[in-house]
Chain A
Amino acid sequence: MSTSVAEHGQGAGLSPEHGGHVLRVAGLQSEFRSRRGTVKAVRAVSLELEPGQRVGIVGESGSGKSAFALSVLGLLEPPGYVVGGEVILNGRNIAELDDRQMQTVRGKEISIVFQDPMSALNPVKTIGQQITETIRKHQPQLGKKGARAAAIELLRDVEVPAAGRRIDDYPHQYSGGMRQRVMIAIALANQPNVLIADEPTTALDVTTQAQVLTLLDRLVTERGTAVILITHNLGIVAQFCDVVYVMYAGRVVERAATADLFAHPVHPYTEALLRAVPRPDQLAQGPLPSIPGAPPNLAEVAPGCSFESRCPLGRGHKLCRTEVPVSTAAIGFGSGGATAECHFAKERVAEYLDGDATTA
């Protein structure tokens, strides 16, 4: 299923069983078209999110994380197009909705916090105008005054000091961290079921990062919001997420519960990614570990495993160069549902199990 494109079956809009998932993405594909060719940015990505669950998506720049987020929301702008797959939100396929119908979904059932709070707010509108815009769209019964009161309440909730006064300020009068709090307030204004946070702390300095993350943690816990956290910071993932999806070259190459992923990375890319996290105690031992090579050009996808050219395991194996690995269930340890897209996944899991058995 993970490699085939899910067809839009009849009546797929309202499937009676969505298995307790608030969001289920199946085989989502998007691409960017240009004169020089088509870049397949998201190649059949599937993802499941339970109510209140936190899922992390990690991967390097250009791995398709942000394109995935925009595709889920239907906000991919030309030359980007969603070309296949299902996005089942609260039981209906929102990938099939037209833009008018999506307007009632965006900001209400699902919302997003972007990476750079400096450019995500309109410089010529007040903070209040930008928060009340989403409240008035989805809760028109509140009226102008009610929306303003709700916006002040939200600003308090995201710990903006003197919210009643600062609601009339403009973005340039806010610091980066405060602006990201405002973005979170906008995203949570209508109590969505799902929040996508696309690198919400990357543009902030480290102390602000921690504050914003703690705030986000509290807010989504209070509201029971399910979160997809997109990041390339593995430390944030370890702290925040229940499940981790590792993306590489537009595909999910590994999926596992957070603890399992850090303890037993099955896919060699995940392993290399974990090894590349700088450790202060080992800095003296030489240069930072890195993954040799560069990600493949997604405009011309070669046959075989897309990580093959950089993979320490696949060297010399013909299989890796000719066959696309299928998603293999990494059964045997940890919580269920872990998968890895590697020809050697079974062997790797077996090794881990042996290792665990001998050390136990």
Chain B
Amino acid sequence: MLKLVLTRTAASLVAIFGASILAFVLLRVAPADPARLLAGPFATEEVVEAQRVALGLKDSLVSQYFRYIGDFFQGDWGFSFSVGRPVIDQIGSRLPASIELGLYAFIFALVGAVICALLATYRRRRAVDHTINGFALFGLGTPPFWLALIVLLVFFGILDILPGPEGRLSPRQEAPPEVTRMYTIDALLAGQLGTFFDAGKHLLLPALVLGFAPWAFFFRLLRASLLEVSGEQYLATARSKGIRRWTAFRRHALPNAFLPTLTAAGLIFAALLAGSVLVESVYQWPGLGALVRDGVIEQDYAVVQAFILIGAFAYVVVNLVVDILYGVIDPRTRTGSAVTK
């Protein structure tokens, strides 16, 4: 098990290194010239050239890369000229918002999918199965921005029981003391229940909308594996021991059926953490998605570069966790090869 953790961690480091090179190179070959953008459209060629030297763009690519990585680890992620703030400040304020939203969306999706998949398969009720499956197809086929607008219209516009697109808190609500910068968690830590409920109300719609398609995806995956596993002989063995059908299902079917979903869950969780441009836009959510959208439009490449690296980091870390969880659930993956015991 320790060997598994070590080898997977090493592989993850290699992957992050690769991603950093990619982030670095992609933006060097992108058409925008940062020196020209900084100096402005009316600057003379001499000024732009001087700017290039000042930015270190005249150095060799290798030394530029090492400077970039060295700065990155020291917290200098570059300067966002379009906003006029260091990139790390911007990301520091945006990332927790995206993580909080992504986290809740993921929890809705996964917990909902497990419950629905069990409902759809355990009792073998055709009507239940068909109904949930219909919802899942709807979830997979619905554009999230459309759904985001529709639920906003219903729950804010018509019923008026949930807040409108005003970000993470009501306008007059003060943010809780900063610990994790995730408002629901910080509010709980500070014991501010009012803030907690306010943040929760603001999270509900965007998290549900963002989690809807992943829910549908997880549900269909889990349902298929549960159906497959429920025909396995070891369930009959468990039942022949006098174990309750539900206990046999939970203890023997679910862990086996969960493996394919776990892989997918890792990928989707990482994607959710990195923010969603469309849903964040609709709800005025101050997350990473909106930041990167603006960064791309403004050709503010320090922002994009930092985002790529953070995204890669999220994917790699989440997949590392998935790999280790795989080892915990399925003993067959613990050893490098099946032959060496």
Please determine whether B233 and A119 come into contact, CB atoms closer than 8 angstroms. Answer: yes
Q: Which of A100, A104, A124 contacts B331 (CB 8 A)?
A: A124
> Which of B329, B330, B331, B338 has the largest count of A CB atoms less than 10 A from its CB?
B331
- If the complex has contacts A120-B237, A121-B234, A123-B330, are A173 and B341 also in contact, measured as CB distance less than 8 A? yes
Within the complex, the shortest CB–CB distance from B335 to chain A, in Å, comes to: 9
Within the complex, the shortest CB–CB distance from A32 to chain B, in Å, comes to: 14
Please determine whether A122 and B256 come into contact, CB atoms closer than 8 angstroms. Answer: yes
- If the complex has contacts A119-B234, A122-B252, are A106 and B331 also in contact, measured as CB distance less than 8 A? no
A137 at the interface (CB under 8 A from B): yes
Please determine whether A111 and B234 come into contact, CB atoms closer than 8 angstroms. Answer: no
- If the complex has contacts A124-B255, A172-B338, are A137 and B243 also in contact, measured as CB distance less than 8 A? yes
B130 at the interface (CB under 8 A from A): no
Please determine whether B239 and A75 come into contact, CB atoms closer than 8 angstroms. Answer: yes
Please determine whether B252 and A137 come into contact, CB atoms closer than 8 angstroms. Answer: no
**CB within 8 Å of B: which residues of A?**
70, 73, 75, 77-78, 99-100, 102-108, 111-112, 114, 116, 119-126, 130, 133-134, 137-138, 170, 172-173, 183, 186-187
Q: Which residues of B313-341 are within 8 A (CB) of A?
A: 329-332, 338, 341
Please determine whether A99 and B245 come into contact, CB atoms closer than 8 angstroms. Answer: yes
Please determine whether B243 and A133 come into contact, CB atoms closer than 8 angstroms. Answer: yes
Secondary structure dominating the interface of A: mixed
B240 at the interface (CB under 8 A from A): yes
| Contact partners of B76 in chain A: CB under 8 A | none
B84 at the interface (CB under 8 A from A): no
- If the complex has contacts A78-B124, A121-B234, are A106 and B255 also in contact, measured as CB distance less than 8 A? no
Please determine whether A107 and B233 come into contact, CB atoms closer than 8 angstroms. Answer: no
Contact with A along B220-255 (1 / 0, CB 8 A): 000000000000111011111111110000011001
| Contact partners of B234 in chain A: CB under 8 A | 119-123
Known pairs A104-B242, A112-B240, A125-B251; list 19 more (Cβ under 8 Å): A77-B236, A78-B124, A99-B244, A103-B242, A103-B244, A107-B241, A114-B233, A119-B232, A119-B233, A121-B234, A123-B234, A123-B331, A124-B255, A124-B329, A130-B237, A133-B241, A137-B243, A173-B341, A186-B241
Query: For residue B338, which residue of chain A has the nearest CB?
Result: A172
Q: How far is the CA of A133 from the CA of B238 in the complex (A)?
A: 8
Please determine whether A125 and B252 come into contact, CB atoms closer than 8 angstroms. Answer: yes
Q: How far is the CA of A169 from the CA of B242 in the complex (A)?
A: 23
Please determine whether B242 and A107 come into contact, CB atoms closer than 8 angstroms. Answer: yes
| Contact partners of B338 in chain A: CB under 8 A | 172
Q: Which of B124, B251, B332, B341 contacts A123 (CB 8 A)?
A: B332
Q: How far is the CA of A126 from the CA of B251 in the complex (A)?
A: 13
| Contact partners of A103 in chain B: CB under 8 A | 242-244
Nearest 4 Cβ contacts at the A-B interface: A134-B241, A107-B242, A107-B241, A106-B242
| Contact partners of A121 in chain B: CB under 8 A | 234, 237
Count of CB-CB pairs between chains A and B under 8 Å = 81
Range class of the B interface residue count: 20 to 34
Within the complex, the shortest CB–CB distance from A23 to chain B, in Å, comes to: 15
| Contact partners of A120 in chain B: CB under 8 A | 233-234, 236-237
Within the complex, the shortest CB–CB distance from B123 to chain A, in Å, comes to: 10
Q: How far is the CA of A70 from the CA of B331 in the complex (A)?
A: 30
Q: Which of B242, B245, B255, B256 contacts A137 (CB 8 A)?
A: B242
Within the complex, the shortest CB–CB distance from A26 to chain B, in Å, comes to: 22
Please determine whether B236 and A114 come into contact, CB atoms closer than 8 angstroms. Answer: yes
5 contacts between A and B (CB under 8 A): A78-B124, A99-B245, A103-B244, A123-B256, A170-B331
Q: How far is the CA of A108 from the CA of B240 in the complex (A)?
A: 9
Q: Which residues of B282-341 are within 8 A (CB) of A?
A: 329-332, 338, 341
Q: Which of B240, B245, B256 contacts A124 (CB 8 A)?
A: B256
Within the complex, the shortest CB–CB distance from A218 to chain B, in Å, comes to: 22
Q: How far is the CA of A114 from the CA of B233 in the complex (A)?
A: 8
| Contact partners of B241 in chain A: CB under 8 A | 106-107, 111, 133-134, 137, 186
- If the complex has contacts A172-B332, A173-B341, are A75 and B240 also in contact, measured as CB distance less than 8 A? yes
Within the complex, the shortest CB–CB distance from B59 to chain A, in Å, comes to: 54
| Contact partners of B329 in chain A: CB under 8 A | 124
| Contact partners of A119 in chain B: CB under 8 A | 232-234
- If the complex has contacts A119-B233, A119-B234, A123-B330, are A111 and B240 also in contact, measured as CB distance less than 8 A? yes
Query: For residue A189, which residue of chain B has the nearest CB?
Result: B241
| Contact partners of B252 in chain A: CB under 8 A | 122, 125
Q: Which of A108, A116, A124, A170 contacts B233 (CB 8 A)?
A: A116
Q: How far is the CA of A209 from the CA of B271 in the complex (A)?
A: 52
Q: How far is the CA of A235 from the CA of B333 in the complex (A)?
A: 40
Please determine whether B237 and A186 come into contact, CB atoms closer than 8 angstroms. Answer: yes
Q: How far is the CA of A107 from the CA of B241 in the complex (A)?
A: 4
Q: How far is the CA of A114 from the CA of B329 in the complex (A)?
A: 25
Within the complex, the shortest CB–CB distance from B227 to chain A, in Å, comes to: 13
> Which of B238, B241, B332, B341 has the largest count of A CB atoms less than 10 A from its CB?
B241
| Contact partners of A133 in chain B: CB under 8 A | 238, 241, 243, 251
| Contact partners of A106 in chain B: CB under 8 A | 239-242
Query: For residue A196, which residue of chain B has the nearest CB?
Result: B240
Q: How far is the CA of A166 from the CA of B134 in the complex (A)?
A: 47
Q: Which residues of B250-279 are within 8 A (CB) of A?
A: 251-252, 255-256
Query: For residue B332, which residue of chain A has the nearest CB?
Result: A172
Within the complex, the shortest CB–CB distance from A262 to chain B, in Å, comes to: 31
| Contact partners of B232 in chain A: CB under 8 A | 119
Query: For residue A129, which residue of chain B has the nearest CB?
Result: B251
| Contact partners of B341 in chain A: CB under 8 A | 173
> Which of A70, A105, A114, A122 has the largest count of B CB atoms less than 10 A from its CB?
A122
- If the complex has contacts A123-B256, A172-B338, are A134 and B330 also in contact, measured as CB distance less than 8 A? no
Q: How far is the CA of A99 from the CA of B247 in the complex (A)?
A: 13
Q: How far is the CA of A7 from the CA of B312 in the complex (A)?
A: 69
